[in-house]
Amino acid sequence: GENVEQHPSTLSVQEGDSAVIKCTYSDSASNYFPWYKQELGKRPQLIIDIRSNVGEKKDQRIAVTLNKTAKHFSLHITETQPEDSAVYFCAARGNNAGNMLTFGGGTRLMVKP
Amino acid sequence: ETGVTQTPRHLVMGMTNKKSLKCEQHLGHNAMYWYKQSAKKPLELMFVYNFKEQTENNSVPSRFSPECPNSSHLFLHLHTLQPEDSALYLCASSLRTTNEKLFFGSGTQLSVL
C-alpha cells in the first residue's frame, strides 16, 4: 500500500520567514495530495490540495509543488505569521482499494514573533 | 451547529468499561470515517462507511465496534480497551468515499486507565 513520509517533524521559523515542509510517497499511481492544518486543540482542516496533472498551486501565502518523477510534494508558506503555528499533515491518495488517503506523520510549525 | 460534531470531547474509562463515541454530520455527506490520532504517529484510518455500509476495516481490533445507523450518524462502541488505546479519535465525513475534501470533527480525547 501507500507510504507517506513527512519531514521535518518540527520546524521553528521567525515571523516573516518562509517555511517548507516536504513529503514523499511510494505509490506512483497516487493522484491527489491534500494538506491539512491542525491548530492546537482544534480539528484538522484542509488548506490546499493538488492533483497529479498539476505541478504547482498557489493560494495567497501558501503554495504546493508536486514532482511526480521523484514522488515528492512540498508545502511552502511565505511571510509566516504567528497564526500559522500549527501541525501540518500531508496526505496522498494512492491507487489502493477504496482510494483511501494515507497521511504523513505531521510537522509541528512554530512561528516566533 | 453545522459541520461535524463529536461527543463527548473528553472521556476517561477503565479497561472493563463500555462506552460509546458519537459523531453527527450536517453536511449532507454520504461517507463517514473514524480516525485514530496518537502522539507522534500519522493519522490512522480505522473504519469507513459509505451510504451507511462499511467499506473499510483497517485491521482494527474487535474491542472497537463501529455503527452507522444512517448517513448522518456514526458511533464507535468501546469495550475492554487497553491503555495503548488512549488517543484522540477523530470522525470525518466527505461527499463520497473517493475521498475528496475531508471534514473533521473536533475529536474525542480518550484516556484508558
Per-residue pLDDT tens digits of chain A, which is 113 residues long = 789 999 999 999 999 999 999 999 999 989 999 999 999 989 999 999 999 888 999 999 999 999 999 999 999 999 999 999 999 999 999 766 567 889 999 999 999 99
Read off the DSSP letter of residue B84: G
Dump pLDDT digits (tens) for A59-72: 999 999 999 999 99
**CA–CA separation, B75 vs B66, rounded Å?**
6
Q: What pLDDT was estimated at residue A97?
A: 58
Nearest CB neighbour to A105, from listed B42, B55, B90? B42
The residues on A that touch B, with CB distances below 8 Å, are 4, 6, 9, 32, 34, 36, 42-46, 49, 89, 93, 98-106
Q: Does the beta-carbon distance from A49 to B102 stay under 8 Å?
A: no
Separation between Cα atoms, residue A13 and residue B42, nearest integer Å: 23
Unique residue bearing C-alpha cell 493519522: B43
* Cβ-based burial of B80 (10 A; exposed 0-12, middle 13-18, buried ≥19): middle
Taking only the tens of pLDDT, chain B with its 113 residues reads 569 999 999 999 998 889 999 999 999 999 999 999 998 788 999 999 988 788 877 789 999 999 999 999 999 999 999 999 999 999 999 998 776 789 999 999 999 99
Q: Which residue spans within chain A are E strands per DSSP?
A: 4-7, 10-14, 19-25, 32-38, 45-51, 56-59, 62-67, 72-77, 86-93, 101-103, 107-112
**Mutate: best of A32, A43, A95, partner B, most B CBs <10 A:** A43
C-alpha cell at A2: 501507500
Question: Looking at residue A32, what is its pLDDT?
Answer: 92
Using alpha carbons, select from B91, B19, B105, B102 the residue that is nearest to residue A43. B105
pLDDT digits (tens, 9 = 90+) for B44-65: 999 999 887 888 777 899 999 9
> How would DSSP label each residue in B96-113?
STT--S-EE---EEEEE-
A88: which strand partners?
A: A37, A107
Place of cell 474525542: B108
When scoring B30, B93, B99, B109 by the number of chain A Cβ atoms within 10 A, the one with the most, hence best to mutate, is B99
| Nearest residue of chain A to residue B42 (CA atoms) | A105
